């Protein structure tokens, strides 16, 4: 079976390399993309969508179907990691606690754990001592990181950014909180169920926008016809539609990043980890 797999990979790789020779050279001014697609997008994007950022307009409008399925692939990746890595909750034989007045580490076995104690602090089995500077600095920066992430999403029309970039930065802020503190603190604030719901909600926002266009009687993801609902002209409706689906992309990317991190950092147990 291993040999068959290697032969299949080599065969498919050979096909890809063979047909690559038919592609135009990188940066070829006479390629179909340079002669037909690029000039149209450069000349008409602002007129068609009222969006100065050509890249954002292409991703969320001209090729909106492709981007929607890219977002669905991201959701599928998070779901796959959950199904492959997640371990159902089982009885924990022992847990470690730090007796803060003395600094002594104790291991409690069975189910006799300190409950909401002021003197015992739950720690991981591979415990890293608390660092005030790292913890305080990260907590101070997280709020600015999240504000910047929202800025990236909101200004993706006018500057480099958009849903994918903003979602990554938002997810990284939660992951930074988990790394600087502990996994349980992050899960308490943004739980696994919340991450799963947000992952699906982002795709629903994207696909739901397209479905709303169909309910009005037009093509899927044709934002022009949202103008009566958005109270604006057809061109600005297209711009607002792009912004709505970018929000959906950001929500999915953020939640899937966090969801995958929870499972990878804890080997699927989500009881302790980075």
Check whether residue 219 and residue 102 sit in a common domain: no
Check whether residue 172 and residue 54 sit in a common domain: yes
Check whether residue 32 and residue 105 sit in a common domain: no
Inside any domain, residue 271: no
Listed residue (179, 176, 155) closest to 165, CA to CA: 155
Query: For residue 88, what are the contacts with CB-CB under 8 A and spacing of at least 6?
Result: none
pLDDT at position 203 = 93
CA–CA dist 246, 223 (Å, integer): 13
Whole domain around residue 111: which residue ranges?
Answer: 93-123
Check whether residue 191 and residue 100 sit in a common domain: no
With beta carbons less than 8 A apart as the criterion, state whether 267 and 203 touch.
Answer: no
pLDDT at position 232 = 85
Helices 192-216 and 234-265, packing angle to 10 deg: 160
Which residue is it, tokens 């008409």?
A: 44
pLDDT at position 170 = 94
Inside any domain, residue 6: no
CA–CA dist 168, 227 (Å, integer): 30
Which residue is it, tokens 């600005």?
A: 236
Inside any domain, residue 11: no
pLDDT at position 256 = 94
pLDDT at position 126 = 67
- pLDDT (tens, 9 = 90+) of the chain, 274 residues, equals 678 888 999 999 999 888 888 888 877 778 877 888 888 888 888 888 888 889 889 888 888 899 999 999 999 999 988 888 888 776 666 676 666 667 666 666 766 666 677 767 766 666 666 677 888 888 899 999 999 999 999 988 888 888 899 999 999 999 999 888 788 888 888 988 999 999 999 999 999 988 888 888 888 888 888 888 888 888 888 888 899 999 999 999 999 999 999 988 877 777 766 6
**Parallel/antiparallel/unpaired status of strands 120-123 and 94-99:** antiparallel
Listed residue (121, 226, 227) closest to 184, CA to CA: 121
With beta carbons less than 8 A apart as the criterion, state whether 149 and 173 touch.
Answer: yes
Check whether residue 241 and residue 170 sit in a common domain: yes
Inside any domain, residue 246: yes
With beta carbons less than 8 A apart as the criterion, state whether 233 and 216 touch.
Answer: no
Check whether residue 205 and residue 112 sit in a common domain: no
Q: Residue 3, exposed/middle/buried by CB under 10 A (0-12, 13-18, 19+)?
A: exposed
Check whether residue 172 and residue 109 sit in a common domain: no
With beta carbons less than 8 A apart as the criterion, state whether 198 and 190 touch.
Answer: no
Could you give the number of structural domains in the chain?
A: 2
Check whether residue 184 and residue 52 sit in a common domain: yes
pLDDT at position 142 = 92
Integer-rounded Cα radius of gyration of the chain: 24
Q: How many CA atoms lie within 13 A of 18 on its CB side?
A: 6
Check whether residue 135 and residue 242 sit in a common domain: yes
Check whether residue 117 and residue 101 sit in a common domain: yes
Element (H, E) at 21: none
pLDDT at position 4 = 86
pLDDT at position 72 = 93
Q: Residue 79, exposed/middle/buried by CB under 10 A (0-12, 13-18, 19+)?
A: middle
Prediction pTM value: 0.81
């Amino acid at each position: 079976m291993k040999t068959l797999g290697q032969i299949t990979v080599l065969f498919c790789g050979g096909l890809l390399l063979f047909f690559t020779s038919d592609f135009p050279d990188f940066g070829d001014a006479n390629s179909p993309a340079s002669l037909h697609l690029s000039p149209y997008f450069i000349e008409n994007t602002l007129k068609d969508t009222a969006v100065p950022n050509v890249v954002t307009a292409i991703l969320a409008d001209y090729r909106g179907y492709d981007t929607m399925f890219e977002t669905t692939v991201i959701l599928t990746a998070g779901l796959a990691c959950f199904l492959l890595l997640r371990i159902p909750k089982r009885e924990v034989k022992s847990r470690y606690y730090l007796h803060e007045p003395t600094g002594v580490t104790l291991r409690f076995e069975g189910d006799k754990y300190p409950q909401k104690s002021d003197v015992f602090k739950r720690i991981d089995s591979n415990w890293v001592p608390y660092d005030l500077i790292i913890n305080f600095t990260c907590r101070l920066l997280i709020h600015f990181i999240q504000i910047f992430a929202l800025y990236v999403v909101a200004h993706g029309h006018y500057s480099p950014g958009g849903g994918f970039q903003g979602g990554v930065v938002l997810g990284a802020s939660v992951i930074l909180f988990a790394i600087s503190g502990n996994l349980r603190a992050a899960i308490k604030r943004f739980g696994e169920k919340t991450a799963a719901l947000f992952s699906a909600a982002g795709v629903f926002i994207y696909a739901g926008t397209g479905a709303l266009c169909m309910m009005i009687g037009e093509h899927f993801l044709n934002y022009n016809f949202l103008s009566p609902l958005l109270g604006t002209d057809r061109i600005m409706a297209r711009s607002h539609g792009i912004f709505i689906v970018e929000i959906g992309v950001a929500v999915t990317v953020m939640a899937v990043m966090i969801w995958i991190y929870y499972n990878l950092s804890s080997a699927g147990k989500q009881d302790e980890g980075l």
